[in-house]
Structure 1
Amino acid sequence: MSKVILFNKPFDVLSQFTDRGTEGSPRRTLSDFISVPNVYAAGRLDRDSEGLLLLTGDGKLQHRIADPTNKMSKCYWAQVEGVPSDEALEQLRSGVKLKDGMTRPAKAARMEPPATLWPRTPPIRFRKNVPDSWIKITLTEGRNRQVRRMTAAIGHPTLRLIRYRIGAWTIDGINNGDWVEIEV
């Protein structure tokens, strides 16, 4: 049995335990939230993204979760500028050409705004003349800032990004900034 920590990472928190950034501007890290020794993030989540981050001390499990060759699916909720058309969503489903090549096909659909969404600090910028909407995107690869680059490529920049699920694990019932430990 291995222990896994399911952490609902807040916005503006680094997915590491220490900050090697510039001196004088301390950034929040995992150590501000998690005091369990000998666990490490299985993968990462950008500082400006929120939601599920898995941590474990089991190196084999960590590799199985994080290695893109294992194709463990990850589901994201993206609040985007505008309302993507069916054609735009089909582009996501077919794969999008990015500077580093074509993405694998993704599952993509419009969704209602999440019912149990915490406020983000600072809040996203709203533009009076540009509507926003939510889409659900499921990927089986993990390129750097991939969801943001994909939504921008179809003309709908991401305003807020929340990772909802990794494999069978979700953030259901975990408040933002909180974590739970499970055995697997």
Structure 2
Amino acid sequence: GSKASATIQPFLLLHINIFPDPICSLEDGLHLFSAQESLDGYRTSASSKAEIVSASKSVKILEPPEIMILHLMRFSYGRQGCTKLHKAVRFPLELLLGRDLLSSRLSEARRYELVATITHHGRDPSKGHYTADARHPDGGWLRYDDSSVASVPVSKVLHDQAYVLFYKRL
């Protein structure tokens, strides 16, 4: 027969894979993050009596945090060292975490609002510069760039090259 098991693991942030071609938005990345994954050849235990079975796994959020930190995986590590993915990925001002991402015990979707972003500027991961955009309590946005702070329009905040996104639960 089939058996279900659950592992509860606290998290500080979610790493969102943006490398696959179909990923064009944060919502696409979250859908991939929570998609069921096949585990062919899975060993049921480490003992010598372990069975090899077909299994699947999926990731669900049990307790949506007050602040949701989403790391868009723009850096890849391989034989050629570290490379940066300069791919456009759209993200919204208001994020709805759908029931497909939430534990079944949560009956409704959770809404979040964007409160900050971090962006890496530069072609090479080992060089470049970081800036942060943060929402001011008055609703405006500020860009922090070393010792300078400047007001920026929301259109500049919603650029498609962000690296880390911070959402606050509504």
The structure with the largest strand share of the pair is: 2
The structure with the largest helix share of the pair is: 1
**Which structure has the larger Rg over C-alpha atoms?**
2
Q: Please say whether Structure 1 and Structure 2 have the same fold, judged by a TM-score greater than 0.5.
A: no
By relative contact order (CA 8 Å, sep 6+), the higher-ranking structure is 1
